Amino acid sequence: MNNPTEAKISVVLICRNEKKHLYGVIMSLLNQSLKPYEIIVADGMSEDGSYEYLLELSTAYPELKPCKNPLMYAPHGLNIGIKQAKGDYIMIAGAHTLYNKEYLKQTVSFLFENHGAEAAGGVTTAFSMHGNVLEKSFCAVYSSVFGVGGSLHRYAKEITSADTVAYAVYRREVFQKYGYFNESLIRNQDIEFNYRITKTGGKIYVLPIDNLYTVPESFIKFISKNFSNGYWNYITLKISKKGIGFRHFVPFFFVLYILFCIIMGVFASVTVSLITCVPLILYVVMDMYFSFVQAHRAKEPLQFFLNLFIFPVLHISYGTGTLMSIIRGGER
């Protein structure tokens, strides 16, 4: 292979009951400036006609290769697709994202030119499907360093190394070297796999190229998603001590701190209670600052008040998920 345009690229996409999203996602992959050799879609026994729809699409687009994932869960589907893939590079795609037209070209070119890199990905830019004020606020908190902490793939503005990345493009030999996705992890399997790479000296990079990720459509789905993500952090840690970093547990310690403040407020003196709450006051100030910044950036002044509420909801729902997982002993 003399240049990246000669590379065969396999895309592995997993789905379950995602029929309404599939056309947009697949078209954004088929319309890449550097065309994928194949798009393998592992369907987790969908009940909404997704698999039948994929078969129909594949008659018009032979690059599309639907297959079944009888165990339904994400890591099983990913491993099925990877083992079928014939490409020199393998991209892991999600069903709720529209991909930048230059995404495959830029990531593959970067890997081609940087032999020390095992994987590369882009920035996950939160996108409101319906354009309502609630979804826009979800976008604001997911795009803020205050909202997502050290998740560089949410906001990176330049090429930087990272501990994990979304929609990674891997060299094919990475899976021979590090194994496959851990099928014990229904969630966080990508985080654990990427930590497996970086903790043994491998390099993963985030490139400043945006892909549009569709945020949850309702407040309940937003809470549920973050709670579930937090819940699986402790399970990931139990299964693999090197599978997840400390930053994923910061919301958990925040929730513990809030509970401690409540206990102090009930049982301690007023002075002790006020001293205990100083960090909480600082949190509120930061909440106000970043809520204003995001509202100003979006040119939506009234969004400030909703952001004020959504930032702590993100942190508390995520942290509560981890707390409940610990209480339940990592029960799946």
Confirm whether 168 is domain-assigned: yes
Confirm whether 90 is domain-assigned: yes
Check which CATH number belongs to the domain holding 199 and give it: 3.90.550.10
Confirm whether 234 is domain-assigned: no
Residues 214 and 257 in one domain: no
Residues 42 and 176 in one domain: yes
Confirm whether 120 is domain-assigned: yes
- Nearest 5°: phi and psi at 94? -115, 155
Residues 143 and 211 in one domain: yes
In this prediction the pTM is 0.89
If pLDDT is split at 50, 70 and 90, which confidence band does 171 have? very high
Confirm whether 75 is domain-assigned: yes
Residues 80 and 14 in one domain: yes
Confirm whether 231 is domain-assigned: no
**Tokens describing residue 247:** 């930053």
Residues 204 and 316 in one domain: no
Predicted local confidence at residue 330, as pLDDT: 85
* Structural domain ending residue among the three candidates 175, 202, 218: 218
Q: What confidence tens digit (pLDDT) does each residue in 263-286 have?
A: 999 999 999 989 999 999 999 999
Domain residue limits at 261: 246-327
* DSSP state letters, 91-129: EEE-TTEE--TTHHHHHHHHHHH-TTEEEEEEEEEEE-S
Q: Which of 83, 80, 76 is nearest to 175 (CA)?
A: 83
Report the number of distinct structural domains present in the chain.
Answer: 2
> Residues 303-309: what's their mean pLDDT?
96
Confirm whether 239 is domain-assigned: no
Residues 155 and 192 in one domain: yes
Between the two ends of the chain, the Cα-to-Cα distance in Å is 45
Residues 17 and 120 in one domain: yes
Residues 269 and 187 in one domain: no
Residues 178 and 267 in one domain: no
Residues 154 and 274 in one domain: no
- Nearest 5°: phi and psi at 191? -60, -45
Residues 258 and 313 in one domain: yes
Q: What confidence tens digit (pLDDT) does each residue in 180-198 have?
A: 999 999 989 999 999 999 9
Residues 79 and 213 in one domain: yes
Q: What confidence tens digit (pLDDT) does each residue in 98-112 have?
A: 999 999 999 999 999
> Residues 154-171: what's their mean pLDDT?
90
Confirm whether 241 is domain-assigned: no
